[in-house]
Structure formats: C-alpha cells, structure tokens
Amino acid sequence: MSTAIVTGSAGLVGSEAVRFLHDQGMDVIGIDNNLREYFFGPDGSTRWQQEQLTGCLNRYRHFDLDIRDQESMFRLIREHQPSLLIHCAAQPSHDWSAREPITDFSVNACGTVVLLEALRRFAPEAVFIFVSTNKVYGDTPNHLPLVEQNTRWELDSSHPYAARGIDESMGIDQTKHSLMGASKVGADVMTQEYGRYFGLKTGVFRGGCLTGPAHSGVELHGFLAYLVKCAVLERPYVVYGYKGKQVRDNIHSADLVSAFWQFYCRPRPGEVYNIGGSRHSNCSIIEAINRIEALSGCRVEYSVVDQARSGDHIWWISDVSKFMRDYPSWKYAYNLDDILQEIIAAVKARTGSRSL
C-alpha cells in the first residue's frame, strides 16, 4: 500500500488532502505543529482538526514536527518512502510576514527546500505538489485596466484576461509582493527547479482564495471563513481599501485536492498552474457580505477603511484553462453558494450557534 505525506495536515487544504488520500486507500502521514496558532492566536489553532483526523482515520498518523528541521524531515521521508508529498504548510499572511520576516522566509522558503532535498535523496520517484499562491505575481494585477462597477471592480472587457482570468504568463518580478509573497516566490521557483534541474515530479499550484468549512479563519487569513465567523458571532468586520469592491475567486479545498490527485496520477515535472474559482466562483467582498446575509440569516456589521493592505490585489480571477487542458477530466464540484452554505453550517456547528 502506498504512503502519502501531507504537510500542514490539520489546516484547510492539508486536512482535505488527508481525508481524500485516506479514502483512496493510501496510508497517510500528517506533519503539523500548529504554527498557525503562533501566527494568529487561539482562533487560528488547527488542533480541533488534528483531533478529528486522528480520531476517525485508521490509516492516518500525525507527527508534530517542524518542516524546517532537516534531520527530522530527512529521517521521516527515508523511513516511510512516500509516493506522494503534498506540501501545504506555510505562513500565509501578508501582514504577519512583516512582523517576523525571518520566520516567514524560513517557513515558506527554507522549509520547502528541506522537503525537496529530502525527496531528492531518499524518495526521488515521489510526486511533490506545492501549494503556492497568486501572491507570487505581486501587485502586477493592480495595473490592469480595471473598471469600477456598483459592487465590484472588473477588468475592461477588451483585455485578453477578461473572459477567463489571469494566466501563468504574467510576470512575477519587478512588482510589490509583500514579504510573504516574496518568500512564496522562493519556494515556488525552487519547486520548479527541482523538477526541471533534477527531474523530480514536482508541480506548483498557484492558488486564488482557497476556502472551505475546514478553515480556521482569522482576520489576517481566511477571507470567507472569517467573514462568515463575524456574521454568525456578531463580530464587526473591517474591509481594508478599494471600497470593499476588490474581487477574489474562491475554490473549495475539495476541488483543489481533486486537482492534486489528477496531477499525482499523471505528473508533469516542473509544471506551474494557476488554480482558483475562476469565472466559475468569484465575488467582491461586498458581494460576499450580501450572499452570506441571504444564506445565513445573519447581519454582517462591517466598516470600510481607505487604507488597503500593502500588496493586496484589487482584482484576481484565475485562468484555470491550462490545467483543464492538461487534465480534461477535472471539473468543479462547488460554486460560490455551495461553498458559503458549507462554511456557514460548519461555523454554526463549531460555535454552537443556531442552525440554519
């Protein structure tokens, strides 16, 4: 029976991957030391998800390890010889990265290289999937010809990206990334290089807004999950800049993990894919607030401040057509309302709030 390793295994994408791979009959090893609680406080803790995984999956083993620990990572991969490693562990916040740049870079960039080198030495036939981010493009998308509409910013209809979104041809340098975006660039490019230079079966997935009911959403990370939490718990929500009309595409973690599985079954070493909700599932913050109020019956108390977050995107929609050309059997299972309904139900269940 083959073995998969998932880093950040108690997080949003990691926990989704653990469950999916377990359902496929694989033995699954999770690596997660709950750094998210260090980054974001108790609301960001993923221990609840770790306890669920260890309690209900009989072929799942959890290791409370740090991906930056070279000795531990080398030993784990040498002993377990995985056929797949999905690397989800990260410091994911723009704002937090400016507080501790060295910690951010060590987790995002150095931790990734440790894992890549461990595979190269001890499991060179394994597939390595890296959860990258659209933040590797920096604020370049903000210089597109954007048009203000009633509830959102939108791309001018004459632009090549208008129909399907931003593709992988957009450049990643000479732009303002945020420090988190820069550290993810390092990990992203190194993952490509281990595929192109050493021939490892690496794949890079540059995500839009990754979301779903397993998200421990906080103000600094987890847009939809945190917004739903504010609605359900009657907490005030602050929108930073752009009149709340900034647009995000949102992909359910289950749809993302199903894309990973397609890549695992037929890897293309060193490949890069934009992956997100695309034109299929996207919204502005104002539009998200309106849908959450309609679906949850809860009012969102929010305010809008003029100061945007540094390096934040005004408009992001992923063009996923490259991935769909390479893997034509992959399809979305969730649209925006599906995603929101699951998050609302999960937040209400976890917080003991009234049911829908």
**Closest-CA residue to 286 (of 155, 94, 150):** 150
Tell me the pLDDT tens digit for each residue of 82-106: 999 999 999 999 899 999 999 999 9
Residue 355 has pLDDT above 60, yes or no: no
Tell me the pLDDT tens digit for each residue of 131-153: 999 999 999 999 999 999 999 99
Strands (E), the chain: 3-7, 27-31, 60-63, 84-87, 127-133, 146-148, 153-155, 201-207, 209-211, 237-240, 247-252, 271-275, 282-284, 302-305
CA distance linking residue 111 with residue 231, whole number of Å: 36
222 burial (CB, 10 Å; 0-12 / 13-18 / 19+) is buried
Q: How confident is the model at residue 306 (pLDDT cuts 50, 70, 90)?
A: very high
Token readout for 105 is 């870079």
Tell me the pLDDT tens digit for each residue of 309-321: 888 899 999 999 9
Tell me the pLDDT tens digit for each residue of 153-194: 999 999 999 999 999 999 999 999 999 999 999 999 999 999
| φ, ψ (nearest 5 deg) of residue 15 | -65, -35
Residue 281 has pLDDT above 50, yes or no: yes
pLDDT value at residue 94? 87
Q: How confident is the model at residue 217 (pLDDT cuts 50, 70, 90)?
A: confident
Q: How confident is the model at residue 353 (pLDDT cuts 50, 70, 90)?
A: low
> Residue-wise over 37-73: b if at least 16 C-beta within 10 A, else e?
eebbeeebbbeebbeebeeebeebebbebbbbebebb
User: What is the mean pLDDT of the segment spanning 215-243?
Assistant: 91
Answer yes or no: are the C-beta atoms of 61 and 36 closer than 8 Å: no
CA distance linking residue 10 with residue 33, whole number of Å: 9
pLDDT value at residue 311? 81
The 8-class DSSP code of residue 59 comes to T
Tell me the pLDDT tens digit for each residue of 50-86: 999 999 999 999 999 999 999 999 999 999 999 999 9
Secondary structure element (H or E) that encloses residue 78, with its range: helix 70-80
CA distance linking residue 203 with residue 76, whole number of Å: 21
Share of residues in the chain with pLDDT > 90 (%): 93
**Closest-CA residue to 14 (of 56, 58, 55, 60):** 60
Answer yes or no: are the C-beta atoms of 20 and 254 closer than 8 Å: yes
* Residue at token pair 């934040």: 312
Beta bridge partners of 240: 305
